[in-house]
Chains A and B, each alone.
Chain A
């Protein structure tokens, strides 16, 4: 029940921040739609056969990862930009396997999306314990860089109780 109330308050805050209008009618519609949305979600959770997904992420680790990841994005942006602008493009394409150690679906999704978001690498396929990754300018050091990313994301993920 507490969780539903908190969700409704959060949704209403989101409504208010997105609209920025403080007329009574608008705020009233916001309250009504937040409560309606929470009611629908509760109904869906009751009807579904799965338990509600509870994944714990460490906020501080997540923040540290975001900073590190932004720096990585800019570094690889620079690499890919150099490849695009150089007269003879030094493309060395390769498909390779990247093992992951995340337990939860959310952790694996963060890892796969991080790989794709970094210019120069795209996660193509998800297997049992590894991703298939396609790289534009493949270097042998890519394995270590991706292993470091894997460790950092595993640190974000706390004890998983799904």
Chain B
């Protein structure tokens, strides 16, 4: 039982640390990438992978009780609001005419 508990704590900390690394990588990407569109993609690493790993880690760390349920709800709501706000920003950029900087810049059809 004690061993199992230790294993769970280790899993929890590993996923919290990995999530933090992903958040840092997302921030690094936002700094390194050249233009608006690519920076949006860097932010989405923080939004998806970082958030999942941090919430899973915290959920396991707290043991399985009410806190886990609340963290799960936070995750569900972040998964709905995060992409919606990203889409709103991207759509506003498209409408105001920010074009991706690209050599072969084109809007291709489904067949390529």
CB within 8 Å of B: which residues of A?
A: 17-18, 20, 70, 73-74, 77, 80-81, 83-85, 89, 91, 93-99, 112-114, 116-125, 130, 132, 134, 136, 140, 143
Highest count of chain B CB atoms <10 Å: which of A80, A85, A112, A123: A80
Majority SS at the chain A contact face: mixed
Which residues on B are within 8 Å of A, measured CB to CB?
22, 25-26, 28-29, 32-34, 37-38, 40-42, 44-45, 47-49, 52, 66, 69-70, 73, 79-80, 82-84, 86-87, 90-91, 93-94, 100-102, 106-110, 112
Is B52 a contact of A124 with CB atoms below 8 Å? no
Determine the distance from Cα of A120 to Cα of B42 in the docked complex, in whole angstroms: 8
**From DSSP, what is the main secondary structure of chain B's interface residues?**
helix
Question: With a CB–CB cut-off of 8 A, which chain A residues contact B101?
Answer: 93
Which residues on B sit within 8 Å (CB–CB) of A84? 25-26, 28-29, 32-33, 42, 45
